[in-house]
């Protein structure tokens, strides 16, 4: 999990010192949603033909509307083509992962790498990728730069740039919540990739769920298995992260339950068109995960929780 160092976690008073009371859950939700939608309209952040793009906001009748509405997560637009090749979402995820633990600097940076890229590193390991070809190497200069900026003051000034920026931004926006969503998106994309790598052949007319679920849980819960201390394959309980990995793996491995024996044909006629409205099965799952993170506290009954509770009661 990322180790945050934003002022919003240090003091709730700072969140309420701006023009909006971000401690109010309704206000916080409204500003979060508005900020995400707004950032997806800015060409410099989300790409597009102009400086401001709002045409996608009115195409609600077309498939994939939720993905376009929160298009900032799918944007690959670099913040600067020359000096900063990462998108806004990846940058906020990295910032959310590089807080110091106060130890020796080299060990501290290694810990930040595991916090930021543990899921991707586990996915590369399970895929049999050579260590030198693991994806995180391309991000190392940015990780080291952000680690220094977030955790150190400018020499001779006592001014910490990140503290200065985040304390002022957090008066107007729930910055920590937005960064947590960016981290969630990054790790969910690694989860989707792991499900593709872990897909196995069918077993006795049934989807082979064991391999894909192993890959999914190992990658999405990588912090429990793969760290600076090495490998540790032990699960003490079904966390929310583990639960999400199992549900995503099951859905993707069965193509929305359409390949299940006996009932798959019927279920697929329902889940297939529903997923298509979101742009596909992965897009549907991300939309559900995002909406649950945003509005989950307001939903008293959650189908995925009911299903998981049933499985827990059945097996345990």
B/e letters for 37-46, b = 16+ CB within 10 Å, e = fewer, are bebbbbeebb
Range with the lowest mean pLDDT among 42-46, 149-153, 287-291?
42-46
> Cβ atoms within 10 A of the Cβ of 316, count?
6
pLDDT score for 200: 58
- Helix, strand, or coil here: 188? helix
pLDDT score for 307: 65
Q: What pTM did the predictor assign?
A: 0.86
d(C-alpha 101, C-alpha 40), whole Å: 33
Strands (E), 180-288: 226-227, 230-231
pLDDT score for 160: 92
CA 222 to chain centre: 14
| Secondary element (H or E) of residue 2 | none
Winning range, highest mean pLDDT, from 102-111, 138-147, 216-225? 138-147
Q: Which two tokens stand for residue 97?
A: 């992962």
Burial (CB < 10 A; 0-12, 13-18, 19+), residue 173, is buried
pLDDT score for 8: 43
Segment 127-134 shows an average pLDDT of 87
> Cβ atoms within 10 A of the Cβ of 201, count?
7
Confidence of residue 235 (pLDDT cuts 50, 70, 90): low
Segment 135-139 shows an average pLDDT of 88
| Helix, strand, coil percent content, the chain, rounded in steps of 5 | 60, 5, 35
| Secondary element (H or E) of residue 243 | helix 240-253
Domains of the chain, by residue range, sit at 17-77, 87-237, 254-316
Is 248:254 a contact under the CB 8 Å cutoff?
no
Is 175:169 a contact under the CB 8 Å cutoff?
yes
- Helix, strand, or coil here: 260? coil
């Amino acid at each position: 999990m990322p180790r945050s160092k934003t002022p919003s976690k240090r003091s709730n008073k700072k969140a309420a010192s701006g023009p909006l009371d971000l401690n109010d859950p309704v206000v916080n939700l409204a500003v979060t949603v508005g900020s995400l939608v707004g950032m997806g309209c800015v060409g410099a952040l989300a790409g597009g033909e102009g400086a401001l793009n709002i045409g996608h906001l009115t195409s609600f009748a077309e498939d994939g509307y939720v993905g376009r509405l929160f298009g900032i997560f799918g944007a690959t637009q670099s913040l600067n083509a020359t000096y900063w090749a990462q998108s806004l979402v990846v940058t906020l995820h990295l910032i959310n992962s590089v807080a110091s633990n106060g130890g020796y600097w080299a060990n501290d940076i290694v810990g930040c790498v595991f916090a930021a890229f543990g899921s991707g590193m586990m996915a590369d390991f399970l895929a049999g990728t050579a260590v030198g070809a693991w994806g995180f190497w391309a991000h190392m200069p940015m990780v080291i730069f952000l680690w220094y900026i977030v955790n150190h003051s400018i020499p001779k000034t006592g001014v910490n740039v990140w503290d200065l920026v985040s304390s002022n931004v957090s008066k107007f926006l729930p910055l920590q919540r937005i960064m947590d969503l960016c981290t969630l998106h990054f790790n969910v994309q690694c989860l989707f990739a792991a499900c593709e790598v872990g897909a196995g052949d069918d077993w006795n007319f049934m989807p082979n769920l064991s391999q894909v679920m192993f890959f999914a849980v190992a990658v999405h819960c990588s912090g429990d298995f793969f760290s600076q201390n090495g490998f540790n394959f032990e699960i003490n309980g079904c966390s929310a992260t583990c639960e999400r990995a199992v549900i995503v793996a099951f859905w993707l491995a069965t193509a929305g339950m359409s390949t299940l024996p006996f009932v798959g044909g019927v279920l697929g006629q329902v889940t297939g068109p529903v997923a298509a409205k979101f742009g596909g099965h992965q897009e549907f799952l991300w939309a559900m995960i995002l909406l649950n993170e945003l509005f989950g506290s307001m939903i008293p009954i959650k189908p995925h929780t009911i299903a998981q509770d049933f499985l827990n009661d059945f097996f345990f």
